[in-house]
Amino acid sequence: MTDAHPPYFARHIFFCTNERANGEACCAQHGAQAAFERCKAQVKALGLAGAGQVRVNKAGCLDRCAAGPVAVVYPEGVWYSYVDAADIDEIVESHLKNGQVVERLRTPPELGR
């Protein structure tokens, strides 16, 4: 069965911004909030935000802590591990704007929690 309606957003990126109180490693310790804010600002500045385009969201734990900080882009289901603002800019320009996966930032598939 196929859905005749296009998705509300063409792409949706979720940033893990989880913070663990017990001292375990978490994305919040690695600049996840700043990365989320940068991505949201870049998407808006490029005119990519809104219905039919791109949505940038925070998420709780995405259970890929060993690879953190992480973000995931849907509908492709592509996971990214990023380090700095330049990585976020590359994800926005290459994947969110042009549909090209940034292979060098892909989270290794074996890295989970």
CATH number of the domain that 18 lies in?
3.40.30.10
Q: Is residue 3 part of a domain?
A: no
Q: Is residue 46 part of a domain?
A: yes
Say what the pTM is: 0.91
Spatial separation of the C-alpha atoms in residues 108 and 74, rounded to whole Å = 17
Q: Which domain holds residue 78?
A: 11-105
Q: Rounded mean pLDDT of the chain?
A: 92
Higher-pLDDT residue of 113, 67: 67
Residue 45 host element (H or E): helix 32-45
The total number of structural domains in the chain stands at: 1
Residue 94: pLDDT over 80 = yes
